[in-house]
Structures are given as C-alpha cells and as structure tokens.
Amino acid sequence: MGEDDPDLGLSSEVAFDRLIHEAKSSIAEWYSLNVVNKLKPNAHKPNKICTFSHYFCTRTFIFIRVSLFLLIVGSVDIENRITFSSAAVYALLLLYTILLEVWQNRIRSTAFQQKYRKAFEEILELEKSKPKVFTYTPKSLEAVTDDVAVCQSCFRDGHVVEVPRILLVIGDVIILRPGQIAPCNCETFDGRILAEGDRLKWDVKTNKKTGFVQPLEPVYARVTCYPIKNHLEIALSAEDNPLQFDYQLQYMIHKVFERYVIPIAFVASVVATSIRFIYSDDENLFGTRFAFAVPSLTVVPLLILQLPLLFHFVKYINNREVAKYLELPKDFETCKDLVSILSSITGTSFIDKKGILSCVHPSIEKVVFATNEADESGALGIHLEVMNLSSDREATINARGSPSHRWNLSMDDPNWQRYLPNLLPLTYNLLLNSCQQSEHFHQFLDHLAVVSTKVPRTIATANRRCMCQLPYLLGFTSKSLENFQGIPKILGFYKKQPGEAPLPGLTKHRTPIEMAFCTIRDDAKSLHSHLSCQGTANLVVDACSHIWNGNAVIPMSKRLKTSVKDFYLRHSMTGHCLAVSYRPCFSKLGDALNGKYVEVPLNQEPPKIETALPRSQSNESFEEADYTNTVKTAESAIDQYFTGQVLCGLVVLHYEPLPESVSIIEKLDQICVRPVYFSKENELRSRVFAEKLGIEAGWNCHISLAEEDNMPSRKMDVAHEQFVKQKPSRSKFWRRIALSESNLDALDRESLARGSPSLRKMSMISAKMAPIPNIARLPTGVKNVRPHLDEVDNVPLLVGLFTDSTTPAVEEMVEIMQENGEVVMVVGSCRNPSNTALYSIANVSICVDDVEESSCRLLEQGEGEATKSNVMQMSSKFIALATDFRLDHTKLLKLPSLIVCARHRMSSFRHSLLFILYASLLYSVIILMSTCFFLPIIFTHSQTIMTAFLHIPILFLGTFFTNFEPKSKMIRIAPKNSSDIPKSEKLKTVTQFLCQFVPSAIYINLLFLFLLMSNSNMMCAYSDISCLFNTDGPAGSSPILGLNETRIGQVSLSTETIRHIMGLQLTVIYCVLSSNFVFGLSSLWYEFPIKCLLWDASVFICIATQIGYSVLRGVQLSHLFSLLPLFLLILWMCVIGIVNELIKIRRIQQFTREQRRTKFEFDTKLGMNSPY
C-alpha cells in the first residue's frame, strides 16, 4: 500500500457529511440531557453563587410583591381617600415584577443555552459554506512526542493528507507513525485495537545478512470513533467560575439587604407607623390605609426593582466595548461579563509555544568552526571560534499583495567575511543536506523515537531543521547544486548510548539519542561521491579524524574533540545543536540499501588520527575496483562512510520568541498580571526560552511538573543488556571490537549506564560547564504542589515557568491556581484540540491563530501554506467553540491594555453600584426618620416613584459610563479571588455611608421641619404638625394634576409646596453626592466630574424632570426657588463637596497603600527557602 491508493479511506465530501451529522447529533444529545431534562446539577437554583447572583432571587420577589400589595392598599391621599391613579401605578409595578421574574428565568435559560446555540449555529454555517475543494495542510515535520499531534496523516480522496485530529470520522484510514500515540480510538488492519493515547509495540529488525537495520514502517488503522463528540461535550459542559465581585454582590444584595436592611427598615417603619396610628385622632387624618402605605414607601427604594435590568444592560454594553476594542465580529455574543472577568485577571497561562510565543521553526543562533587565528587572549593555535547570528522578523508584502512576515538572518559580527573560508565548507554541507530531505529525516526520526524508548535517558530530537538561509547568506544559489547529479541517497547511523546522568536538581532530563543523518550525492564530473553528514556531536566527532581550519584539513586532536563535545553538551541541553561533517566516497551504496539505517556498536572504537592527509589525489592513484566496489553490509558502510570524516563545524539553533510575545509578557508584568508559561520541554531548554520572553526563570522561579522516577536500577539493567547484546554480523567486523562479550559482563553496570570511563570523565567536566540547574527546594510533580502550598509557602503560585508540562498536569495546575484565589486567563493555539479541557476550566480562554511560516524559510512567505487550508480553518472554528473568543495573533498586544480598561470600567461600576445602594438607602432613611419623628410624610407616592425609578438609576448610569479607556496612568491591581469579605471592607462601607449620606438625611428632615414650622398655624402643638396642611397665599394655588392633594387653611406656603422644595433639594443633593463616584480615585482638581458628559446629561435630566414635575403639580417657580431654602442648599452643597473630597482623599490613600502592598507581593519571588 502506497501513499496514493484510491481504495483506501473516505472521500473528503463523505467525511465532511459524516462530521457535520455527528456534530449535530452530539449537540442534540447534550441538549436533551443537560437542558431539556435539566440533568445538569444545581443549574437553575436561584441561590447558586455564580454570575446569576446579578438577578433577584425568590426571597426578593416576595418582599417586592408584599410591599407593592401594601402600597395598593395604602393608595390614599391625606384625607384617606383612595387614589386610583396611584393604585394603577403600583398595579403596573406588580405586573412589572411578574414580567421581570419571567424575563430573569428566560435570561438564565438563554445564558445556559448560549454555548449550545453558538455551536449549533457554527455547524450550520459550516454546512452552508461547504467547500467545493478541500485543501489540507502539508505533512507534519515534527518528531513524535508524548503529546498527541495536531494533525494526523490520513487517506482522503485516495491521497495521504494531514487532517486535523478533531475532524477524523469513523471510516477514516489513518497512518500511525512509528512511536506515535493513537490520536483516537482506532483498529489496525491486523486487528489490534487501540484507545486514544495508546501506543503500538514496535520491533526493530536487523537484516542478518547485511547488518543493516530495516526502517520501521507506519501502520494503517481505521478510526472507530468521532473525536468531535468528546470535544463538544467538554466545550458545552464548561461552567463559569464565580469571581470576587460575584461573591461581594451576593453578600451585599442577597444577604445584607435581603436579610438585614430591608426587614429592619420594614419592621422599624411598621413600629413607627403603628405608634403614630395609636396616638392619632380624627384631627390628624392619619388614616388606616395610609398606615399601610408608609412602610412600603420606606422599603420600595431598597428593593431597587430596576437592578436586574441595569446589570443586564451594563453587561451588554461592556461586552460590546470588549468586542469593539478587539475588533471581534459584530455577531459576537457571550453569556459572561467579560469586563468583570478581565478586570479580575491575576495570571495569564500560555500553553502553546510554536506559532504563538515563538516562530514555527528554530533559527540559527551560533555557528562554530575551527580557526588558526588569534583568540581573544591573543594566543595562536587551532581553537574553536563561535560566531553569533540574529534572526529578525520583518513585515513585507508578498507576491499576492497581502501582508506577510519574513525572518531575516544576519551576522552579529560586521567583519564576519574574514571567516568566509572557514564557513564555506560548512554551509556547502548544509546545502547538500538541506530541508529538501526532511521527509527522509523524519522517517529516520520516527525510527529513533522507537529506539529511544529502550535506551535510558534518551529522546529523539528533531535537531536538524531548515538552515537554508545560511548558505544563501554566504552567496550560494540554487545553481550551486548543478555539480551533482541524480537524487541523493540516504543513510542513517545511530548508537544506543545511554543518556548522560541528570544534573542535580533536574527532573527527567533526557539526552538526544546519538544519531547521524547522511546524504550521498554523486559528482557530475568525476566517479566519486560526496557524503554530507549532520548529527549529534558525540557520534559525528567520533567518526571524524580531521577538521577544517579555513586553510587546510588537519588532524583532529583529542583536546579539540573534547572541546567540541563539551560545546555540544552545553548547547544541546538548552537548544538544538548539530555537528556537520563531510567525506568524499569512492564506493557506491547499493540501491537496495538506500534509506536503510546502521546501528553503531556501543564499543565502536574511534578512528585513529593520522598525522597527515593527502591534500589532492588524482583518479589515477586509485584502482578501478575502488570505484566499482559497492557497499553491501553495515560493516563496510561504517568503514567507507562513517570513518575518516572531516568536521566542518557545529550549528546551534534556538526558537526565537516573536516580538509581540515579548511585548505582551512585559506589559502583563507591568500591570501585575503574572505571565505563566507551561512548557512541554525540559527545564534547561524551557528556561532559556522563558528568559528570552522576559519571564524570570532563575533561582526558585520554575517548577517541573514531571513526576519523579523511582526505578533507576531497572534502567541500568536495560542499558547493560543492550550493551552486551551488541553482536557483530561478521567475524572480521567483530575482530575490530576492542572488548569481548566475556569482558563486558565484568564491567561495572553503573559505568555502562553512564558511558565509557572517558565519556564519564567528560560528562563530569561538562556538568561544571553546563547551565546551573534549579536546586531550590520547590515541589517536583504536580501532585506535590498542593502539599507544598499547605505546609511550606506559596512560591509555586509566584513562579512564571512550569516545565515538562502535559495536558493533564497543566489542567490540574490551573485548578490549583484557582483554588488559591487566582483568576486565570488561558491563551493557546486554535489548532491544538488537546487544549479543550484547559479552555473549559479557565476563567477566560482565548484561542489565537498561529503565525504562519513556510516549511523552508527561503520560500515565499505570504499567507502560508496552512492558511490556504480550509480544512484547518474548520478545525479552528470547532476548537474556538470551547473558548470565549478567538483572536488574530496581531491582536494579542491589545490584551494588556484591555485589562487596564476593564479594571477602570469595573472600578467605575463598583463606585456606581455603591452609589445606587447608598442613594436607595438614603431615601428610605429619610422617610423612616420623618415617620419616627412624627413629621408629615415627607415624600408622596409620585415623588418616591420618580426618585427610585428615574433619578437614582439615571445618576447610576451617569457615574458608570466614563471613558472606557482611562486617561490616568494609575495601575489598578486585581486582588485575589476570595469569597470572604474582610471586616475592614465592611467597616469602610458602613463608615462611608454614615459620613457621606446620613448627614444629608438629617439635613432634609431638619429643613422640612423648619419650613413646616415657619409656614404653619402656630395654634397647633408640636405633636400635631403632621396634621397641618396649608395652601399657598390667601387664594391658594390650583394644581394641574390632582393626585394626593388636600387643601386646608391659608398660609404662605402649603405642605405640598414644601414637599416639592424638599424633592428638589434631595435631587440636587443626589447629584452632588454622585459627583464623588464619577472619578472615584481621582481628586477633584485632577478630574472634574463635569468632564464626564454622560454624568452632566444625567444631572440635567434629574433636575429638569424634578422641576417639570413640580410645575405640573401646580407649584410656582418662585415658591420652588425660595431664597432661604436655596441659600441653605448652596451651603449644604459646599459641605457635601468638602466631605466628599475628604472621603475621596482618604479612599485614595487607602487604595494607594493597598496597591503598594499588592505590588510588593506580586514582585516577591522568594519563599522561605531563599538563601538571601
């Protein structure tokens, strides 16, 4: 079976139809189980602490309906006569509460079904836009790892293509690479059943006749499940995590107001009303029905009937602001309050590296070669010269006219051309053995992935990458290969050398398995061939007898070999290092052996170093048999190809972080959002990349999530067994081996596990030169993090780097962070389906479109090959269903500034919410005080309705809608997510109300008493003031609306006019008090409230409606703006302004002190194990 077989697999159209049908069925099944049958536990309970706490619960509705019923009963005027207009208004309010409860339930149900609707609409859209031609991504060039790959090789339309794993369907025929984990449940053609995550057992076979190792062939399997089903189940079942704001809102509304404030106010009002009713007589007209209305008028403002609507409106506006800021689609919708969540973010977890934080392919960072020039100390002699290179990302316009980015390679040394003779052989080798042979190399790499599972502390690493930029930088072109003919032959060498013993403090550090990948090209003008070798330095250097120094090929001394190996050991720990060598070949490789591999024995002796090497030879100096001889055995392959090579140099590659990634890490750290990078690589490589990103990764600043291995003895047994079983294929080859099998049995096993004595000595020297590992006493393994947090310190929550990360380990670590008060934002790739579970548990999740990059950096980099793939776009849309929104990579830089904007908006919302609660409580306190002091009812039904349902909500919106982007540079640091509210916060809230609002309640009542006494009939006693209701002037006034009005006696000002004066006074006081909540953390002389146009409009509306209401009620403007009340109002406004400013200054001081303490805690990285 080849790569093109029309009888295998499904067609793209059939697979697409099956995928859409299964997706619809999965969503319908989930909807039936979790929504229709309501099997989701605690989903609709009103007392659940979640974002639903923004709405009223059943207890609140009971209070509301009882109060409105009492108001209907008490809808009478002062003469105890029923007023049908008031009763109708309260009846409408009662109907409104019924509709409000229905609306709340609908909103809850809609929010609960929002992901279902979003997923179903997305699937319908995909079905509607079914492509006529399905395009796929190019083949994967990555090594087989423990993680499941994003794409899977699969037969579609009779061809092998790369299909995103999430889009596999039942009936697909997939190709399992050697060592690969099963991407889903499948069954091989020979009947072996594999579950997702299982791995086949592979046997490496060696041809007994030739000694060559047969490359492991991939296995075909048939998919037996739909991965999309599990993905949709996880995405749809995700639940929101409550935030500190939700807990505070739950506490304030559903506990303080419902359980304490409203009952106490109602009981106090009933008691006061009952006392007044008992002491009333026929003269004071304190009627029976009016006694029912007073307690309800006291309670109704506290119920804040419009609060759910305000919350819903604010959430809608906030989400639209976020969508506008991030340039999301116009139809974007979510049930979450994104501003509330973003403002609470304390940590950002980056879970993918390639294409998100770094470039897709590693870049050349260093080139090492031998030279005879003087070194830095001025000493002459052969030594290694290290030349640094830089890769910069440059924005360009491709041939299609669309923007693209290109990585440019440049030398850091401006005088690098003096080393051109040293670099030419190295770069020519890279041209001969280039990324055009990547498919063969990755087949070899798959083979090594299986071999490394049986060799202790080793791993197959794709250290050979695209390096085509370096030859072209030195002047080579595509015509440089015209001197060679035919297709190059491939030969691979590897050695089962156990990896280096891990350094102290490192967990599961694995050494790249010793290997060499060779291409053999025939010369077009002669009979010999050119072998270009690239591989690990330990194996390649052992095959080299000479080295190129820029002028000549000279023998390679033992000191130079040790230096090369030391350099390789250091840089292979932290990146990818490749040794490059060359050898002319005079024997031909048999066609049957092309693409085969050779296992180099562990006890293979390095070639003897000759003192001289012929610089030139003519063809006449060789016999004809040398050119016609064909290599047919592994022994001869080692003799002819893997000995006597010339070392050209070494190349070091590293993943370069994207400039946007470095900027976003820096900006997140500046706003005190801890950036956390979950790396799948080992500690040393992860630390190097993290430091490039700007994440601190030094002492006590990173944790390995790999579990410690407690079985070292078994590894040494395996190493010894592999070492002993190395047997020659022929006696001649066996005589070349220095040690016999009987001698091997006597060797120390520990020595064999670590290597030969010389290698062990070299590893000890190299260990001192290697990067210093993290030896802090931090937990190793995710299972040890919780005990460390409970028993030691909180340093695991302060580190920014977690290494050796697997998806289950990252998932558990995110949960640990959330358990300890962190609000986590997860940022990952929109192509990796393994991230679905992480997206579902995060407080807010963002999937990012990967940065595109061509497989070869010399190719045209436009939209990229992957961008053309509509199949990959389908996969990204499915994965995005598990996230809150999907972003283009260029918009990632907006996240830090968006968090700052969200914190500013949330601060305004908190101040506005405090204002509406304080203002409502103030109104009830005023009525309660007038009732307790035996004053006439200070505000009528209509005034109460207008203030509670119009003025206070409008001022709430005016104080809330400040600019979304703050003008000040103040950093508001998000606190820990905690359900507990400190006593200091409670005390501060109560104190602010007592100092800022209660004095106004006393002022209103005293002014009301003063106006009544100055305009009343003094024949009545003080206790009878409540029965005096006077008219204006001798003839009185004629009201336009005749609600709740009684006209008795004749004095200068009537009680009705006094009430309107008090209504205007209260409205102005509300406006002045609200000015303190517009810019809650800025002094008056820095940000004047008048700068907020919406607040100006809300103040104008409140005052205008109050004056208009008084005019409609027949009150003359001259009476309404009487000089004495107006003068007292101006004085009281000044008092309020001074008190407001003093309270604000105190608030700013407390806020600044808290922010400094929080900033100090954020910057502290050291725990109790610190040596400082």
User: If you average pLDDT over residues 296-315, what whole number do you get?
Assistant: 85
Note the pLDDT of residue 1080.
Answer: 80
Of 494-508, 633-647, 933-947, least confident by mean pLDDT is: 494-508
Q: In what order do the strands lie in the sheet with 674-678?
A: 702-704, 801-803, 674-678, 347-350, 824-829, 844-848, 885-887
pLDDT at 980: 85
**Residue 396: pLDDT over 70:** no
CA–CA distance, 347 with 358 (Å, rounded to integer) = 20
* Beta-bridge partner residues of 161: 154
Cα(174)–Cα(101) distance, integer angstroms: 53
Query: How does the average pLDDT of the chain come out, rounded?
Result: 79
pLDDT at 500: 76
Domain ranges of the chain: 338-359+658-729+740-895, 363-389+408-609+625-654, 990-1160
The per-residue pLDDT for 727 is 40
Pairing of strands 484-495, 458-459: unpaired
Q: What angle in degrees, to the nearest 10, is found between the helix axes of 558-574 and 683-693?
A: 70
Q: Are 108 and 51 in contact (CB under 8 A)?
A: no
When pLDDT is averaged across residues 602-629 and rounded to a whole number, the result is 54
The residue-averaged pLDDT of 315-333 equals 89
pLDDT in tens, 836-867: 999 999 999 999 988 877 777 776 544 444 44
Highest-confidence range of 51-55, 790-794, 1070-1074, by mean pLDDT? 1070-1074
Q: What is the pLDDT of residue 710?
A: 54
Averaged pLDDT, 870-880: 90
Is residue 746 pLDDT above 80, yes or no?
A: no
560-611 per-position pLDDT tens digit: 999 999 999 888 888 889 999 999 988 888 888 888 999 998 877 666 655 5
Q: pLDDT band at residue 47, thresholds of 50, 70 and 90?
A: very low
Q: What pLDDT is attached to residue 473?
A: 87
The fold of the 338-359+658-729+740-895 domain, in CATH, is: Rossmann fold (3.40.50)
Q: Counting runs of H as helices and runs of E as strands, what totals does the chain give?
A: 36, 30
For residue 632, what pLDDT band results from cuts at 50, 70 and 90? confident
Tell me the average pLDDT across 676-698.
Answer: 87
For the segment 503-525, the average pLDDT, to the nearest whole number, is 79
The whole-number average pLDDT for the span 420-449 is 88
pLDDT at position 503? 62
Q: Which amino acid is at 381?
A: G
Q: Which helix (DSSP H) or strand (DSSP E) does residue 515 occupy?
A: strand 514-523
Provide the pLDDT confidence category of residue 1099 given band limits of 50, 70 and 90: very high
- Write out pLDDT tens, residues 206-239: 888 888 999 998 999 999 999 999 999 998 888 8
- Which of the given ranges, 118-122, 531-535, 638-642, has the highest pLDDT on average? 531-535
What is the per-residue pLDDT across 99-156, written as a single tens digit (0 to 9) for each? 887 887 787 777 767 888 888 888 999 999 888 888 888 775 555 555 557 888 899 9
> Tokens 């030739």 belong to which residue?
210
Q: What is the pLDDT of residue 684?
A: 84
3-state helix, strand, coil in the chain (%, to 5): 50, 15, 35
Residues 1152 and 1081: their CA atoms lie apart, in Å, by: 10
pLDDT of 333 reads 85
Which of 3.10.530, 3.30.300, 3.30.1490, 3.40.1110 would CATH assign to domain 363-389+408-609+625-654? 3.40.1110
Q: How many residues does the chain have?
A: 1172
Using alpha carbons, select from 175, 149, 164 the residue that is nearest to residue 443.
175
Provide φ and ψ at 719, rounded to 5°.
-60, -45
CB 597 within 8 A of CB 492: yes
Between 141-145, 728-732, 1147-1151, the lowest mean confidence (pLDDT) is in 728-732
pLDDT at 1066 over 80: yes
What's the pTM?
Answer: 0.85
Say how far apart CA 307 and CA 312 lie, in whole Å: 9
pLDDT of residue 15: 93
Is it the case that residue 740 has pLDDT exceeding 70? Answer: no
Residue 729's pLDDT is: 39
C-alpha distances (whole Å) from 969 to each of 387, 965, 1013, 1090, 1162 are 43, 10, 53, 20, 19
pLDDT at 88 over 60: yes
Between 652 and 962, where is the model more confident? 652
135-139, 364-368, 879-883, 1151-1155 — which is least confidently predicted? 135-139
pLDDT at 595: 87
The pLDDT score that the predictor gives to residue 816 is 93
1037 pLDDT higher than 60? no
Q: Which of 386, 381, 392 is nearest to 419 (CA)?
A: 386
Average pLDDT on 879-888 reads 90
* DSSP per-residue codes, 648-683: EEEEEEEPPBPHHHHHHHHHHHHTT-EEEEE-SS-H
77-107 burial string, b = 16+ CB within 10 Å, else e?
A: bbeeeebeebbebbbebbebbeebbeebeeb
Is residue 724 very low, low, confident or very high in pLDDT (cuts 50, 70, 90)? very low
Question: How much is the average pLDDT of 725-730?
Answer: 41
pLDDT of residue 144: 53
Above pLDDT 70, what percent of the chain?
79
- Residue 931's closest CA among 90, 262, 72, 275? 275
Predicted local distance difference test score (pLDDT) of residue 377 = 62
Residue 864: what pLDDT?
A: 42
pLDDT band at residue 725 under the 50/70/90 scheme: very low
Residue 378: band (very low, low, confident or very high) from pLDDT cuts 50, 70, 90: low
pLDDT of residue 366: 92
The more confidently predicted of residues 85 and 630 is: 630
Q: What is the pLDDT of residue 1063?
A: 93
CB 646 within 8 A of CB 547: yes
Q: What's the average model confidence in pLDDT over 195-199?
A: 89
Higher per-residue pLDDT: 1049 or 66: 66
What confidence category does residue 1097 fall into, taking pLDDT thresholds of 50, 70 and 90?
Answer: very high
